[in-house]
Structure 1
Amino acid sequence: MTDAASLLSDLAAGRHDPRALMADTLDRIAGSDLNAVVSLRNRDDLLAEASHPRPGPLSGLPMAVKDLADTAGIRTTYGHPTFADHVPTADGPTAAALRGAGAILIGKTNTPEFGLGSHTFNSVHGTTLNPWDRTRSAGGSSGGAGAALAARLLHLADGSDMMGSLRNPAAWNNVFGLRPTHGLVPSAPVGDPVLHPLSTDGPMARTPDDLELLLRVLAPSYRADAPRAPRIGWLADWGGAYPMEEGVLALCEAALDGLADPVAPPMKASDLWTSWTILRSFAIWQKMKPLWTDAFAAASKPALHWEVERGRMLTLDDVTRASAIRATWARRFDAMEVDVIALPSAQCFAFDATLDWPDAIGGVPMDTYHRWMEVVVPASLIGVPAISVPVGFHHDLPMGVQLIARRGRDSDLIHLARRMHAARPWADRVPS
């Protein structure tokens, strides 16, 4: 399958028929056993829409939107049984941007319940499998998006990232995922966008050029800077604070050879975790509070209960303390003598899809449903851009390295991804 940029050029020039592209896309999804794309629209309606696509930079391109994002006229479940038959009447910002750019929305990509946990399973649509090993997880919460890209079911995919949800599934599916600077991609005008900038939408793709193409659609204010050679600091396992499965660090170190130098951890990982878990639980409880009836709670999975129970017990002093830790980390990150820090995108390779989450990494027990994802917290906590770049395979399972830059330096990360992809084009590899 060609890259998105080339395909869109062919569509615009009349060298490729959008109706034929739609038929081929729907056939590939129908023949897939990954359960990555769900809530598909009627085939005849989609073929009719493809016959007369809207103009724009994505004109005629079939796309499925993550099932956390509202899509007018298309079932949007958030992975929760209460919303199994929910069909929004209006698009959210991401769907609106895609439609406005001429994309044809064919359905949704699967996600865990309300995006909690980096393993895409829910009681509405079931489990999304990893195209590199169908006994393993595709990651999450943008797991459907990552698997669909890797399996060549889609050319581009949107995702969202609160705690690594654009980075972990990108690593496990051998594609690129960018968590943009918080605020670069417009979000729905609800809640306080300053107090808790934890989650953001962003692009996933199989090439850095495609990633930037979709970023321009999702974030009209994005402007690419001229390429430069940023100084990269390799933080590995944060001085031993983050347990790593064997093979993860070796792949990342090999990919960064000649690009990065080791640096010491600038702050205690335990402080970042304390701040993160408080702010995350507080934000989730505030979002869930209007929905939290006995019936809704009874239909919800344990991870959501864990967050809600923690969130409802928090005090103003707790939130103030967590915010102070976050402010300290932001200052220390800005004061570092490197422009980019590098960490693995995940602490383990894709695990058994029948598990809820891994109970241990490297012999170290995981004490929460998301502790095994702790390596993504440094970027998420302060809303800075982070990209996952494929770095190769260990026992046929892919991994990625996470590059984290200062606010507004998103294009530096895309330039770095281009450089690494040109040197070692791991993302060109196709699963069997």
Structure 2
Amino acid sequence: MTNASANPLTHLSATELARLIRRRVVSSREVTQAHLDQIERLNPAINAVVTVVPELALTSADRADTALISTGPLGPLHGLPVVHKDLLDTAGIRTTYGSTIYADHVPPMNALIVERMARAGAVTLGKTNTPEFGTGSHTVNRLFGATRNPYDLTRSAGGSSGGSAAALAARLAPLTTGTDMGGSLRNPAGFCNVVGFRPSPGLVPASPSSTAWCTLAVDGPMARTVQDIVLMLRAVAGHDARSPLSWPGAIGDFAPDLAPDAPSLAGMRVAWGTNLGGLPVDRQVTDILSKQGLATLESLGCHITDDEPDFSGAEESFRVQRAWYYATWFEEEYRDHRDELGPETRWNVECGLALTGRDLATAEAARSLLFQCMAAFFQRYDVLALPVSQLPPFPVEEAWPSEIDGVRQETYLDWMRSAYFISACSLPAISVPCGFTPQGLPVGIQLVGAPGADAQLLRIAHAFETANGSARHLPGSQPNASTSALRGV
């Protein structure tokens, strides 16, 4: 696969494509067709997009082109092709949740984030792969199989938004949606050299929902640049009266200004944490963060201190909240289709059904104390920098990593702690490309902001991304790559 086989339109950022479409330099149909061609060419090897709707996409693109002439742009995403994670309902388009139980399910209405993107002018190309009900940070299920990493087809793309991350890396779409409970926006972004942003709960509201007060699970954007993340937030962030956690302000009000070049972060107080109180971290990850990540922050003028918060209570809080969530959402599937559920989903539901009032009370107290600890920590620092994942992308045949740096991982959740400890804290966090292992596998850095400091976090992430430069390396072109699975996508 050579550069000559790819349409240059698929290599442009969402921000640049949106600008060209608005100025009528290119049509939405041209951009949409280019990405449909890219899906046809590359997706069979990657298995990122599991449902494609070309006729619907081209009809929507034609409608966008007509509207641009007659009434002007519909919104910030006018004419842009996008794909949606298969956990998110799409009206009239198959939505399976990665489960054989819902293999032929077609919902009647859109999830709120999907609806907002459509109203902002986005063109839906299809749905991206996810593990069953988003269970785990490796995208594989019995319905569609595994999604492979575009940087090395023998490796995992992460999860549970692995299909979305792989689609971005392979230039199958310029924007995608994702969800995040234990790292599902951040882990696959780190594995696939793209950007995944976990917003503060309520910034991107999800409704209607039977767990409307839950702060653990959020919807959010994935893109190839932080600037594109902000573009998508202009369409999906903002108040919704049905969401009790929803931030005030109209849709589109949240749009931090990002300088085109890497601004100075002189004096920015960075807490540098590498192992979150003793978690095992693969030495390749530690080396890349300590060399390239640290050097990038220093070049921006940051004041860096080796420090990290006390994450006592994060483990219990996350595990109990997650189990409660699974029992709330999937008790019916567990009761009526138990044999069709994967072992991890069954286990999580069973943990939830076994919870007592005392368990919930103890976890809630731990979560409250943890949040107060974080608020105090961020009085001293502007951002916390740490690993996204505790190891590089692992072999795609593995269900989950059983060992990290010689330390055994007992369950499918254990290896995700560097991400889910942050989820338990209700803090905004973003995964940004940082570097590559000697084998050419991507490694991301996780930047975490103070409570509610999403705008500041995005400015810091944009500066880091611009100065670091790792995001510019496509699959097959990265330094020291030993394989070229999709050279010149």
TM range (shorter): over 0.9
Contact 1:78–1:113 (Cα < 8 Å) also in 2: yes
2:357 matches 1:303: no
* 1:105 match: 124
Give the Cα–Cα distance (whole angstroms) in 2 for the partners of residues 268 and 153 of structure 1.
38
Cα offsets for 1:103-157 (capped at 9, x unmatched): 1112101111000100011111211100000001000111011001111111111
Task: Give unpaired runs (5+ residues) of structure 1.
Answer: none
Shift of 1:225: 5.3
In the superposition, the TM-score normalised over structure 1's length comes to: 0.95
2:171 matches 1:152: yes
2:49 matches 1:37: yes
Contact 1:197–1:382 (Cα < 8 Å) also in 2: no
* 1:20 match: 30
Within the candidate set 34, 48, 62, 1:51 is matched to 62
Any residues of structure 2 matched to 1:2-401 within 5 Å, and which?
A: 2-32=12-42, 33-41=45-53, 43-53=54-64, 55-194=74-213, 196-220=214-238, 221=249, 222-224=253-255, 230-239=268-277, 241-254=278-291, 255-257=293-295, 258=298, 259=302, 261-269=304-312, 271-294=313-336, 296-336=337-377, 337-394=380-437, 395-401=439-445
Give the Cα–Cα distance (whole angstroms) in 1 for the partners of residues 76 and 334 of structure 2.
41
Shift of 1:250: 1.8
Aligned residues: 427
Greater shift, 414-423 or 172-181, is seen at: 414-423
Cα offsets for 1:363-405 (capped at 9, x unmatched): 1010111100101123211221001111100020011111111
Contact 1:238–1:264 (Cα < 8 Å) also in 2: no
* Corresponding residue SS for 2:143: coil
Shift of 1:425: 1.3
> Which amino acid letter does the alignment assign opposite residue 56 of structure 1?
G
Shift of 1:84: 0.3
Runs of 4+ aligned residues of structure 1 deviating over 4 Å after TM superposition are 224-229
Shift of 1:216: 1.5
> Which amino acid letter does the alignment assign opposite residue 210 of structure 1?
D
Identity of aligned residues (%): 40
* Corresponding residue SS for 2:283: coil
Contact 2:226–2:461 (Cα < 8 Å) also in 1: yes
* 2:459 match: 415
Shift of 1:224: 4.3
* Corresponding residue SS for 1:396: coil
Shift of 1:24: 1.3
> Which amino acid letter does the alignment assign opposite residue 347 of structure 2?
W
For the structure 1 residues 250 and 260, does the alpha-carbon distance in structure 2 shift closer, same or farther, using more than 3 Å as the test?
Answer: farther
Give the Cα–Cα distance (whole angstroms) in 2 for the partners of residues 370 and 201 of structure 1.
20
Shift of 1:287: 1.0
* Corresponding residue SS for 1:247: helix
* 1:427 match: 471
> Which amino acid letter does the alignment assign opposite residue 401 of structure 2?
P
Contact 2:233–2:255 (Cα < 8 Å) also in 1: no
* Corresponding residue SS for 1:77: coil
Task: Give unpaired runs (5+ residues) of structure 2.
Answer: 1-10, 68-73, 239-248, 259-264, 476-486
> Which amino acid letter does the alignment assign opposite residue 400 of structure 1?
G
For the structure 1 residues 351 and 260, does the alpha-carbon distance in structure 2 shift closer, same or farther, using more than 3 Å as the test?
Answer: farther
Give the Cα–Cα distance (whole angstroms) in 2 for the partners of residues 62 and 223 of structure 1.
22
